[in-house]
Amino acid sequence: MLNTTLKVSLPSSPLDSEEQVTFIKPKTSNPNEEKYLSWFPHSDFPEQQEAFRNGLRLALETKRTIIAPMLRINKIYPWMPFEDLAKRYEAQDKVQLAKACAAKIKNWQTELEPCETLHDWFEVPWSSIMDLESIKKDYGIRIIERTSGHGWGVHESALGGNVDPSDVAIVDVMTYKENGTNWERIDTEKPTVKQNSFSNWIQSNFLAKEEKLTEPLKYVLTEDKLMEIDAKIIQFGALSSAARYATTTSEIQLDLRKAMMKTRFNVPDQLTQLTKQSNAIVSALGGKFQYSTLILNLSKLVALDARAGNMQNLAVDGGNTSPVKPSTHVVSMEDLNDNSKKELMDAVVLEIFGDIPINQAISAAMPIKPSKLADLLETGRSLTNPLERKQLLEACVEYHKKIETKYPVYYLMNDMDIAAETRPDIFGPLIKMFPCVFSTADMKKWDIQSENWAQGQEELNDPNVNYEKLLQPLLDILIAGKGYSFFEIPTTPLTRFLNWSPKV
Compute the distance between CA of residue 236 and CA of residue 64 in angstroms, rounded to an integer: 13
Among 208, 233, 262, the domain-final residue is 262
Q: Are residues 227 and 327 in the same domain?
A: no
Side-chain-side CA neighbours of residue 325 (13 Å):
2
Q: Are residues 359 and 472 in the same domain?
A: yes
Residue among 236, 241, 265, 174 nearest 500 (CA): 265
Any domain includes 397: yes
The continuous run of DSSP H or E covering 296 comes out as strand 292-296
* Predicted pLDDT at 365: 92
Task: Give the pLDDT confidence of 3-25 residue by residue, as tens digits.
Answer: 332 223 333 444 443 333 333 34
* Predicted pLDDT at 181: 75
Q: Which ranges in 229-337 belong to alpha helices (H)? A: 251-262, 272-284, 298-307
Any domain includes 29: no
Compute the distance between CA of residue 328 and CA of residue 289 in angstroms, rounded to an integer: 42
Residue among 471, 370, 388 nearest 74 (CA): 471
Q: Are residues 288 and 422 in the same domain?
A: yes
Residue among 269, 258, 36, 250 nearest 143 (CA): 36
Q: Are residues 45 and 122 in the same domain?
A: yes
Compute the distance between CA of residue 503 and CA of residue 282 in angstroms, rounded to an integer: 14
Sign of CA dihedral 295, 297, 302, 304: negative
Q: Are residues 205 and 281 in the same domain?
A: no
Any domain includes 344: yes
Q: How many domains does one find in the chain? A: 2
Q: Are residues 276 and 390 in the same domain?
A: yes
State the CATH number of the domain containing residue 102. Answer: 3.40.50
Q: Are residues 405 and 486 in the same domain?
A: yes
Task: Give the pLDDT confidence of 293-347 residue by residue, as tens digits.
Answer: 999 999 999 988 776 556 554 443 333 334 444 444 557 899 899 999 999 999 9
Give the DSSP per-residue string, 431-462: HHH---EEEHHHHHHTTSS-TTTTTT-TT---
Coil vs helix vs strand at 291: coil
Among 241, 262, 283, the domain-final residue is 262
Any domain includes 192: no
* Predicted pLDDT at 208: 47
Give the DSSP per-residue string, 8-67: EE--SSTT----EEEE-PPPPPPTTS--EEE----SSHHHHHHHHHHHHHHHHHHTPEEE
For strand 410-414 and strand 437-439, is the pairing parallel, antiparallel, or unpaired? parallel
Q: Are residues 329 and 469 in the same domain?
A: yes
* Predicted pLDDT at 314: 43
Any domain includes 224: yes
Any domain includes 376: yes
Structural domain range at position 329: 272-500
Q: Are residues 286 and 418 in the same domain?
A: yes
Is omega for the bond preceding 191 within 30 degrees of 0, making it cis?
A: no
Give the DSSP per-residue string, 121-161: -EEE-GGGTS--HHHHHHH---EEEE-S----GGG-GGGTS
Among 222, 244, 262, the domain-final residue is 262
Q: Are residues 64 and 155 in the same domain?
A: yes
SS3 sequence of 187-198: CCCCCCCCCCCC
For strand 219-220 and strand 65-69, is the pairing parallel, antiparallel, or unpaired? unpaired
Coil vs helix vs strand at 397: helix
Any domain includes 20: no
Q: Are residues 244 and 344 in the same domain?
A: no
* Predicted pLDDT at 207: 42
Q: Are residues 404 and 465 in the same domain?
A: yes
- Positions of the chain with pLDDT under 70: 1-29, 182-210, 307-330, 503-504
Any domain includes 82: yes
* Predicted pLDDT at 209: 46
Compute the distance between CA of residue 304 and CA of residue 307 in angstroms, rounded to an integer: 5
